[in-house]
Each structure stands twice: as structure tokens, then as C-alpha cells.
Amino acid sequence: MRQRATALVFERAGSSGWRCFIAEDGDGDGLRRDDLTSGRDRVLGEVLELGGATAGLGILPDVPVPDPDGSGRLGGDLDDPVRAGRGDIITFTPGSTATPSSVYLTDHHARMRVLRVYGGTARVNSLVWRAGWRRWRSVGM
């Protein structure tokens, strides 16, 4: 609404938790960690703590989770549920584009959800998966 890039920023909070907040580009060079630290990019609203025993960010361990693309098993760092580049920042621009990303959530037992952001359109899609299913399934948001 302000014609500035706005981002959903994730950061690790200790060994088992995450924090999430929304930030706005204050100097026109995109959302950057050093600008957040210096205050040039500012945090909007409150910081949410995303840690908990019942559900949160994560990928089920010791379970063969299929890749949402349908190409084999989910790869990469299975301890990293936020797949949004090196900075774990999902930026949405005034031009209706976004950082291509996937954010994995789990109940820590048998279920998962992935929120997928498509870069060229900034569209967000939600898929669900349960242990034993061969593939992810689309759901309404």
C-alpha cells in the first residue's frame, strides 16, 4: 500500500524455535539483515515467537517426506523449514513479485503443510501431507 517492498522475515530463536515478523524496506535497496539491524528497514507490528511442542515450523524427522514438486523425496537441509534464500526473508514487491519460497509447518507427529510462494506472481499456495501419503494435496487457504 505504501509502494515499498514488504517482507515476512524468519529467524532462528535458539535451537528449537523461530521468530517471524513483517518489515518494510526503508531505503529502496530491498529488505536486508544489515538494514534491519541498523533500523533503515523497519519492523512493522509485533514479533511472533514460533516455537511449541504441538505445532510449528519444521519438517518431520525420520520420515520419507515427498518433494512437493513431485520429484522424489524432499531434499536439502531437513533442519531448515524456511526455504527462502540464504536470508530466510520472503519479500513482496509493489510490482506483484515475491521471493520464491517454501515454508514447512508440522504437528511434529504425522502431518505437514507447506506454504509455497511463487516469485513471478507473488501467489501463495498451500499443500498438505500426512505420513503414508505418496504426494502432497492442495487445500484452500
In contact, 24 and 74? CB cutoff 8 Å: no
Q: What is the pLDDT of residues 17-52, one digit of tens each?
A: 899 999 999 998 989 999 999 999 999 999 998 876
**Domain count along the chain:** 1
Q: Identify whether 1 is part of a domain.
A: no
Q: Is residue 49 part of a domain?
A: yes
Largest CA distance in the chain: 48
What is the domain range of residue 109? 6-138
Q: Mind listing the pLDDT tens digit for each residue in 66-105?
A: 999 988 999 999 999 999 988 899 999 999 999 999 999 9
Q: DSSP strand E in 85-136: where?
A: 89-92, 101-106, 111-117, 124-130
Residue 89 lies in a domain: yes
Give 96: exposed, middle or buried? Use CB within 10 Å, 0-12, 13-18, 19+. exposed
